[in-house]
Chain A
């Protein structure tokens, strides 16, 4: 295991830990308003200071990490749940009509800029965390379908798969029992990278008001609130940003490290 993998896993574990701890404990309640103590710089009582409502920023960041990670995780799960079966199905008969339909549909979805998709969905259904998840989830489907199909195609040529076919197993069963376990590695690597991207997507969408809505804190929302106040109280913008960077660097290092560790030859789609 490389140093990058260690650092990445450590950072990710730390951030995930903060998010999990926030379920049972935060230094203050993130909803607790304390107007007299607003916009305080970092101090012993409030290690990261307070925001414009006097809320404790450390507590908000802990909950914010939880929200942001939750949004990203569900969106990746949507991508995995739909993308993998589609990719496996497409790989079963390369160049067949099922393959063609699936891959061409993928291309069209892929051509939609993520932001355009999010804008379209929120314009019609209103801004919410759910709609941000849906937009990023849909975006993830072709990513995982491509990775799964790419990994599976080479496996279908392998002898142990021929053996399974000779033994009378159906293509579906082979996909589930032999192909899937063998492409799990690249899927995990890609999942880590999409997760990191999801954190950034949540931040960007919530920043422009298309994602998580108040009063739920998310890292992107905190930055949106901070935008008008950054000149008088820089700390309320700096810390949520550092949290985003921490998560993303951690996940990216972990993804790259895992890839090299599992198989130095495989390549992932960076979108």
Chain B
């Protein structure tokens, strides 16, 4: 297990290095130099020179790359040009919206998908299965931001159970915060729940065909008991992977859903930065997203190997 962990850790570090190089390179090839790009064509030469020295553009590329990376490793993401505040702080503030939203959606997705998948598998080939699979087929196809608009229409405009958007802030209480995040989380969770339910169903069906399941039935367990005691546990491995992958999908999805509900999360930050050409913010947020995805995949791989020792030997 230790050897496997170290090996995966090495590839994690390598991936992060390559990813940071790619991001740095793309920002570097911005038309003209970054300072010119950020200030636009009408910039005064002295403002330009000031920004260039502020951004450290006078140093060579490798030096700047190293400065950027070592800064990030120490939690220093640079200073936003438009807001004049440290990027790390801005990201941290926004994460207080985006991260709870992601986790809330993950919880909803899992809570919906488990029963749905288990039910469909236990009804295999019957009406219940067909109905469930039809629903998930639809769920996968529905764009989450469109679903969000429909939810607003029904639950905010017509029924008035929720606000159509905005976020009161956590200092107004956990309940108020969660209430504001409920519609966004549901719309974010729906497509992912559909995918997860399908994975749950097919994983369970794979296990149900195993010899030990027949043995369990033969020794007198009911169908329900075999599913709960032996089926689920063995079906969890593929389901776990998908849940891991969903963290990154949900975080990326949150960026888009935040636009529908006017939530002050990472999404708003990144689109404002794109519009104001604040490359420092864009660079950092993109790196953060990549970091989350790569790290989550790494953790999933480890959990995997921990749950199923056969996987450790294979690599």
Contact = CB atoms under 8 A, between A and B. Distances in A.
Interface of A: 107-108, 111-116, 119-125, 127, 196, 200, 203-204, 207-210, 223, 226-227, 230-231, 234, 237-238, 240-241, 244-245, 248-249, 252-253, 270
Interface of B: 15, 18-19, 22-23, 26-27, 29-31, 37, 137-138, 140-143, 145-146, 149-150, 152-153, 157, 164, 195, 248-249, 251-252, 255-256, 259-260, 267, 270-271, 273-274, 277, 279, 282, 285-286, 289-290, 293-294, 297
Given A113-B293, A207-B256, A231-B157, A248 B140 contact: yes
Nearest to A209: B271
A125 B37 CA distance: 10
Given A116-B286, A119-B282, A207 B145 contact: yes
A160 B91 CA distance: 57
B138 A123 contact: no
Contacts of A248: 140-141
The dominant DSSP class at the B interface is helix
Contacts of B18: 108
A113 B19 contact: no
Contact of B146 (A116, A241, A253): A241
A222 to B, nearest CB: 10
Contacts of A208: 255-256, 259, 267, 271
- A204, A210, A248, A249: residue with the most chain B Cβ atoms closer than 10 Å: A204
B64 to A, nearest CB: 16
Given A113-B290, A120-B282, A252 B29 contact: no
Nearest to B285: A119
A64 to B, nearest CB: 13
Contacts of A122: 274
Contact of B260 (A112, A227, A245, A270): A227
23 contacts: A107-B15, A111-B293, A113-B252, A113-B293, A116-B289, A119-B282, A119-B285, A120-B26, A120-B286, A122-B274, A124-B29, A124-B30, A203-B146, A204-B145, A207-B143, A208-B256, A209-B271, A223-B143, A230-B153, A231-B164, A244-B141, A248-B140, A249-B138
B270 to A, nearest CB: 6
A226 B149 CA distance: 9
B252 A114 contact: yes
Contacts of B157: 231
B249 to A, nearest CB: 8
Given A123-B282, A230-B153, A252-B141, A113 B15 contact: no
Contacts of A196: 141
Contacts of B22: 108, 112
A270 B146 CA distance: 22
Given A116-B252, A124-B27, A208-B271, A230 B289 contact: no
Nearest to B34: A124
Nearest to A4: B137
Given A207-B259, A208-B259, A223 B145 contact: yes
A202 B285 CA distance: 22
Given A207-B256, A252-B141, A253-B137, A223 B26 contact: no
Contacts of B249: 113
Contact of A123 (B255, B267, B279, B297): B279
B143 A116 contact: no
- A111, A200, A227, A248: residue with the most chain B Cβ atoms closer than 10 Å: A111
Contacts of B29: 124
A111 B15 contact: yes
A184 B184 CA distance: 40
B271 A113 contact: no
A2 to B, nearest CB: 12
Given A203-B145, A223-B146, A231-B157, 12 more contacts: A108-B18, A108-B22, A112-B19, A113-B289, A116-B289, A119-B274, A120-B26, A121-B26, A209-B271, A227-B149, A230-B153, A231-B153
A238 B285 CA distance: 32
Contacts of A252: 137, 140-141
B255 A115 contact: yes
B149 to A, nearest CB: 5
Contact of B290 (A111, A238, A245): A111
Contact of A245 (B31, B142, B256): B142
